[in-house]
Amino acid sequence: MNTIEKTNEQTSSTHRCRIPLCWAFLIAFDVSLMALSYAQDGDTNPADPTAQSVMTEIAGPDDVAVETSRFEAIDVFVDSGTRQLAAWQLELKSSANDVQIVGIEGGEHPAFAEPPYYDARAMNNNRVIIAAYNTGDNLPIGRSRVARIHVQVRGPGARTWESELTTSATSDGTKIPAEISIAKATQG
Amino acid sequence: MNILRSRTSAVAALLFAATACFVQLGCGSQESTSTAPNAAAKQDSALRTPMSEPVSSSFRGMAGSAPASESAREEHAAGDAPFADESKSPIAKNDMSIVDALTSLESEAKTPDGINEGIYENDQRSRQLSTVRDSRATPRVTRATFELMPGEELWVIAKGVDPVAQPAAEERPGCGALMAKLPDVEKEVPVPLKHTSVVGSIDGYIATVDVTQQFHNPYNSKIEAVYVFPLPDNAAVNEFVMTAGERKIRGIIREREEAEKIYNDARAQGHVASLLTQERPNIFTQKVANIEPGKQIDINIRYFNTLQYDDGAYEFVFPMVVGPRYNPPATTDGIGAVARGAVGISGQSTEVQYLAPNERSGHDVSLSLHINAGVNIESVRSINHDVAVKDVTEMERNVTLSAADSIPNKDFVLRYQVAGDKIKTAMMTHKDDHGQYFTMMLYPPAQLKQVQRSPMEMVFVLDCSGSMSGRPIDQARAAISHALQSLTPRDTFQIINFSSAASQLGAAPVIATPENIQRGLTYLNSLNGQGGTEMIQGLKAALDFPHDEGRFRLVSFMTDGFIGNDHDILNALSAKLGDSRIFSFGVGQSTNRFLMDRMALIGRGAVAYLSLNDDPVEIMNRFNERISHPAMTDLSIDWGNMNVTDVYPQILPDLIVGRPVIITGKYTGEPSLVKVGGRQGMQPTSFTVAVDETNATKEHKGIASVWARLKIMDLMTQFSRTPEHGLELRQKVTETALDYSLLSNFTAFVAVDSMSKTEGEFGTTVAVPVLVPEGVKYETSVQN
């Protein structure tokens, strides 16, 4: 099973709390019950097996004026390991308010070359939920760029992006574990 | 086996959770005194990604952009463009240098305060720099000569004109044009729009249409292309994709000002970018920035719309050109109609440039359509174009526009007759995250035909403006003549004409005696098209005189609707309507259908279109049939088991013989029986239709978009009528458009290719000039 990589500030700031030992047992018992229920149910929550949130910093120039803007692209990769990836959904957002999403491009594999659709209601300046599926036979295996997000960034410095893969599945609908990662797009 | 494995997993998870809890507690107590490890862990996590490539977590922003853009240019030059190899390109064969071309383009810039700071470098050979001024701007020709020595460089700082479309005078960008020699034309004009492809699919009465505009750069320097074009006024545009070579970038819907700012920033920085805005419900502007010489950028637009049904036939319309609009004095937010290159002379916020009668561009259009009517199709007829029709099944046809009829100067209008006895009120539904939607075509009951009409006060209003001159006014006169002769002595009539002012047959309507009808015909034949289109004058003349209580007033507007102040007209109509009914007739090959449709909707009448290829007698016979029976008025609907909200149109129109009403809304519950009540004459009447599983199960994903578009149109009507609520209504329009990813007055699509950066800041803006619609006289409708 995939490890869940949670690296935001909230996660790291919750380590100080002290919990009485009896509460700890109670929480552990509850969690166990939930796990048992989950296993007996057999119907998995689609997002759970694969959901992962990754924080990535995309560097930017420090020596530019605050009012200047630049356009850059962020490549989004999904690594489905040894399984064929037929469907995916992910969320990409920035904690910064001075970034705007200005275009969505498809991926490198022919199965996901068409620009993915985005959820209009979820679309914000700095947040997008995109998804794509392909019912064909020629599907990517391993790590593949599934989308490229074009953004406008105002002002100097790096911006941190949070990416989360909420769905990844094979062509028969089976949810599969996969990892998401992003990187600044480069030519070539 | 699976269950066993699952249970094992559960036990493992239990142990893991319990252990994790203990570990967590322990760590918490230890770390509470120190934040440094946390910060380090956070930093490490923030920079760590699962990727293996070296650029995964940290990048140099601007430092890396220069080589990146360089390689983008190489990539572009290598493969994307049809003339990637310049040695094979017609551009390369042309002797004119880039400096010459740029200078020539620069000479077109007439807006004094527009500045294009693009810097261009020559190739260090000796060159002659020529500056040719547009003869309309100044009659002088200024020519300056520079001789460059080896090693010297010549830098030209080109003045451009910022957001306004720039003309392409024949003297200049044509130098590098990729134009084929066209027969039978006197002058070929290079334009940055090469081709428009239209691929439509009709399912029931909902059309899904994909429009691809192929922009290219036929000049020697990079350009920004601006194209003002029409779409159906009920088109719900919800997809926008920009294609450069193999790469496709989906555009994002944004608030209009925001989208314009993004586009302007991208344009200024040299990125290929595109912007789609709405000027009127049926007029749009497409801008594409930084198209390099020889390169092509495609823009794909998708929309949904509902078709009209009229006397047994559905009508699919794809408008191909914006007709030349007249804007009353003091108007500044209208749609200007100017000659090619005469930028800015109309004083309007949006301008369409028109080719002179002896000019042709290479822009052509292709169109293919798949029809699945759901019932047997009896006949298919294209009104203005040559088409090939292929039978697929009894209910399906494939229609293709003839390649010999691909000049975009008239609306494509396709009418297909369906089996009349099979037509019945039907509902289509759709369910998504937003809720459940329906659209219903409500057909008039057969009993409407059993009652004859009461005496009428018939008012014919004829547009005699310059754009109607020639064939359009001939067609309109023929139609009115036929309608006049169909009146009986129980009726009265009046003929009003308007252009720059309004005049009429007599002081008051006259009885439709044979003598008066003859008088009317003589008056009609004396009318010709010239002057402006002061439609409000015509409206006032038609609606302001006292109403004859004994007769039913019916006003027929015969016009091409080529005015730029649509909302002023509609507001005036709404204010003056009273008990009158409006029947609007769109005359010509490229009518302003938004105006015509809305006039009929507000006027609780019906709309009809009278193409130059239509038989006016046939059209007016249909009109006579409609008005020969009283409509079912004051409609109300009991939706039965459905809980219906947000119905559009919010004021239900009258049900008229031969004209069903399309109603769209949101609902919960199950469709079953729908009871429609109303009045016929003074008598209450009702009928029931079944919209159960037999005819309410048809699913169409476009219904939500169609509904949202109708909602926006309704809000925009309120917006123009109640400016005091403008802010609130604007907010509602924007929210709806953003939620449903729809183009509107206040939202726009923008797409930026951040990976390709062209040299210089931005190129010269070149508008796409278009032909005046077929039948319209350039001389009487376009400003020079």
Write out pLDDT tens, residues B278-295.
Answer: 999 999 999 999 999 999
> Between the CA atoms of B105, B106, B112 and B113, what dihedral angle is there, to the nearest 10 degrees?
100
Residue of B128 and B709 predicted with greater confidence: B709
CA dist list (Å): B498 to A65, B558, B562, B610: 58, 10, 13, 19
Strand bridging mode B764-767 / B223-230 = parallel
- Report pLDDT for B140: 34
Q: Which residue has the higher pLDDT, B201 or B75?
A: B201
User: pLDDT at position B615, please?
Assistant: 94
Q: Is B207 helix (H, G, I), strand (E, B) or coil?
A: strand
- Helix/strand/coil percent split, chain B, to 5: 30, 35, 40
Q: What residues in A contact B264, CB-CB < 8 Å?
A: none
For residue B269, give the nearest of A35, A71, A184 by CB distance: A71
**Chain A 11-70, residues with CB within 8 Å of chain B CB atoms:** 12-13, 15-19, 21, 24, 27-28, 31-32, 35-36, 38-40, 42, 54-61, 64, 69-70
CA B65 to chain centre: 37
At residue B701, the pLDDT reads 84
Contact B741 A120 (CB under 8 A): yes
CB–CB contact A123 B752 (8 Å): no
User: Is residue B367 predicted with pLDDT exceeding 70?
Assistant: yes
Nearest to A150 among B51, B57, B754 (CB): B754
Percent share of chain B, pLDDT over 90: 55
Token couple for B661? 């009403």
Among A40, A56, A143, pick the best mutation site for testing chain B contact (most B Cβ within 10 A): A56
Closest residue to A24, CB basis, from B25, B433, B755: B25
Of A123, A143, A152, the CB nearest to B265: A152
Grade residue B489 by pLDDT with cuts at 50, 70 and 90: very high
Contact A56 B265 (CB under 8 A): no
Q: Which residues of B touch A36 (CB under 8 A)?
A: 7, 10-11, 14
Place of tokens 């551009």: B91
- Partner A, chain B 50-89, Cβ-Cβ below 8 Å: 50-53, 55-65, 67-69, 71-72, 75
pLDDT band at B161 (very low <50, low <70, confident <90, very high): very low
Q: pLDDT digit string (tens) for B490-522?
A: 999 999 999 999 999 999 999 999 999 999 999
Residue B447, pLDDT score: 73
CB proximity under 8 Å: B 719-758 to A: 738-741, 750-755
Pull the structure tokens for residue B387: 């088409």
d(CA B291, CA B193): 11
The per-residue pLDDT for B739 is 94
**pLDDT grade, residue B418 (50/70/90)?**
confident
Neighbours of B544 (CB within 10 A): 9
Least confident piece of the model among B423-437, B640-654, B755-769: B423-437
| CA atoms of B646 and B667, how far apart (whole Å) | 8
Mean pLDDT (whole number) for B300-316 = 92
Contact (CB<8Å) B752/A100: no
Q: What is the DSSP letter of B136?
A: T
pLDDT for B452: 75
Report the mean per-residue pLDDT for chain B: 78
- Alpha carbons A46 and B398: distance in angstroms, whole number: 42
Q: A49, A26, A48: which is closest to B18 by C-alpha?
A: A26
Q: What is the DSSP string of B254-321?
A: EEHHHHHHHHHHHHHTTEEEEEEEEEETTEEEEEEEEEPTT-EEEEEEEEEEEPEEETTEEEEEE---
Interfacial A residues in 92-131 facing B (CB < 8 Å): 100-106, 113-118, 120-121, 123
Predicted local distance difference test score (pLDDT) of residue B687: 87
Asked if residue B576 lies in contact with residue B545, where contact means CB atoms within 8 angstroms, the answer is no
**Residue-level pLDDT at A39:** 37
- Could you tell me which residue, B682 or B7, shows the higher pLDDT? B682
Q: Which residue has the higher pLDDT, B301 or B115?
A: B301
Q: What pLDDT is stored for residue B772 in this prediction?
A: 95
Q: Which of residues B337 and B177 earns the better pLDDT score?
A: B337
Q: Calculate the CA B688 to chain-centre distance.
A: 37
Distance CA B189, CA B363 (A): 10
**What's the whole-number mean pLDDT along residues B663-667?**
94
Q: Chain A 160-179, CB below 8 Å of chain B: which residues?
A: 160, 179
Retrieve residue A138's tokens. 């020629």
Burial class (CB in 10 A: 0-12, 13-18, 19+), B139: exposed
When mean pLDDT is compared across B153-157, B502-506, B738-742, the lowest value belongs to: B153-157
Percentage of chain B beyond pLDDT 70 is 74
Interval B23-31 mean pLDDT: 36
B741–chain A nearest CA distance, Å: 6
Beta-bridge mates of residue B239: B302
B262: contact with A, CB 8 A cutoff: yes
Q: Which residue is associated with the tokens 């509609």?
A: B570
Beta carbons within 10 angstroms of residue B359's beta carbon: 18
Residue located via tokens 């006016």: B616
CA angle B413, B418, B422 (to 5 degrees): 150
Q: How far is CA B240 from the centre of its chain?
A: 13
- Give me the mean pLDDT over the A22-44 stretch: 45
Chain A residues within an 8 Å CB radius of B753:
103, 150
Q: Which two tokens stand for residue A96?
A: 């910064």
CB pairs under 8 A between A and B: 214
Token digits of residue A166: 């909420």
Considering only CA atoms, give the Rg of chain B.
31
Closest approach of B28 to chain A, Cα-based (Å): 5
- The three-point CA angle B190-B195-B199 to 5° equals 170
Using the Cβ of B249 and the Cβ atoms of chain A, whether some distance falls under 8 Å is answered with yes
In chain B, residues with a C-beta closer than 8 Å to the C-beta of A59 are 58-61
pLDDT of residue B650: 87
Average pLDDT for residues A157-163, to the nearest whole number? 94
What per-residue confidence (pLDDT) applies to B545?
85
Instruction: Reply yes or no on whether the pLDDT at B311 is more than 50.
Output: yes
One-letter amino acid at B274 equals S
Interface of B with A in 194-223 (CB under 8 A): none
- Please tell me the predicted confidence (pLDDT) of residue B664: 94
Element at B718 (helix H, strand E): helix B703-721
With beta carbons under 8 A apart, name residues in chain B contacting A31.
13-14, 17-18, 21
> What is the 8-class DSSP label of residue B175?
G
Cβ separation of A70 and B269 shorter than 8 Å? Answer: yes
Q: What is the mean pLDDT of residues B375-392?
A: 95
pLDDT-above-70 percentage for chain A: 72
Q: Does B29 touch chain A (CB under 8 A)?
A: yes
Amino acid at A127: R
Q: Do B28 and A15 touch (CB under 8 A)?
A: yes
Q: CA-to-CA distance for B653 and B661, rounded, in angstroms?
A: 7
Using 50, 70 and 90 to split pLDDT, how confident is the model at B374?
confident
Tell me the residue type at A89. Q
Q: Estimate the crossing angle of helix B593-602 against helix B566-576, to 10 degrees.
A: 10
Q: How many CB atoms lie within 10 A of CB B319?
A: 26
Is the CB of B36 inside 8 Å of chain A's CB atoms? no
Instruction: Report the alpha-carbon distance of residue B377 to residue B371 in Å, rounded.
Output: 9
pLDDT band at residue B531 using 50, 70 and 90 as cut-offs: confident
Residue B261 contacts A where some CB pair is shorter than 8 Å:
no
Residues of A in contact with B65 (CB under 8 A): 70, 72
What average pLDDT does this structure show over B71-81? 35
Query: Which of B13, B248, B738 shows the shortest C-beta gap to A35?
Result: B13
Answer with the residue of higher pLDDT: B660 or B421: B660
Measured between CB atoms, does A184 come within 8 Å of chain B?
Answer: yes
Is the per-residue pLDDT at B14 higher than 80?
no
Tell which of B5, B44, B45, B742 to mutate to test the A interface (max A CBs under 10 Å). Answer: B45
Q: Are B251 and B233 spatial neighbours (Cβ–Cβ below 8 Å)?
A: no
pLDDT given at position B153: 47
Q: How far apart are the first and last CA of chain A?
A: 33
Q: State yes or no: pLDDT of B17 exceeds 50.
A: no
pLDDT digits (tens, 9 = 90+) for B86-109: 333 333 333 333 223 333 333 333
